[in-house]
Structure 1
């Protein structure tokens, strides 16, 4: 008696994708989720500067939201230095990392309540 040899589950497994296909699908998904940069007017810029100066002067924690390549990113920490010449903010994050933020990326600044 001869027995038919079947591939079992193998024939029902999903199709194999090449790495190029996977990369292209991730890029398409990423492009779909991107957001246009919000317009920040002069009064908002003044407000951001005031909050940054207060946070620096009083060593108060702050939340800075930036727009970077279509996505929002949030930083929480304390302002170490405001560099007016280079238009950068030097922020010490909660985990101790020093981060440099370009002022033209900033779309939101909030002072955190002290506990």
Structure 2
């Protein structure tokens, strides 16, 4: 039976700069982003796109801010919940996602 030392075997062959770079690269997955601020004109454009999407039933691509990261979602606007200030978006898999109005930073039409 051969005993393997795992990562210890490989880290001894690497320079400390490479080890630090790999650790930094692994932590970038959890890198926090600052929340972008949109102005009134951009907000008006997003609102118009949402209204047109509901009227003519075409999909939108949303970029929204959640958990200190920018995320993307593509789908049809299913319902606008004014009371809870949320959009319900139906994606290609048939799942409904809830996006709060304040988290949406950008919307574009999917061609």
Question: Structure 2 length as normaliser, TM-score?
Answer: 0.74
Which residue in the other structure is 1:106 paired with?
104
Distance change (3 Å), C-alpha of 1:60 and 1:32: closer
Bigger-Rg structure (1/2): 1
- The one of 85, 88, 100 equivalent to 1:90 is 88
Counterpart-to-counterpart distance in 2, 1:12 and 1:90: 47
Counterpart-to-counterpart distance in 2, 1:106 and 1:71: 12
Distance change (3 Å), C-alpha of 1:76 and 1:12: closer
List, as ranges, runs of 4+ consecutive aligned residues in structure 1 with deviation greater than 6 Å. Answer: none
CA displacement 1:8-57 (0-9 Å, x = unmatched): 76568618xxxxxxxxx79x925872110001111111111100000011
Give runs of aligned pairs for residues 41-80 of structure 1, distance below 5 A.
41-80=39-78
Question: Structure 1 length as normaliser, TM-score?
Answer: 0.71
The count of aligned residue pairs is 96
Counterpart-to-counterpart distance in 2, 1:104 and 1:14: 47
Structure 1 unaligned regions, length at least 5: 1-7, 16-24
Which residue in the other structure is 1:4 paired with?
none
Counterpart-to-counterpart distance in 1, 2:97 and 2:6: 50
Distance change (3 Å), C-alpha of 1:13 and 1:90: closer
Structure 2 unaligned regions, length at least 5: 10-22
Give runs of aligned pairs for residues 2-21 of structure 1, distance below 5 A.
10=4, 14=8
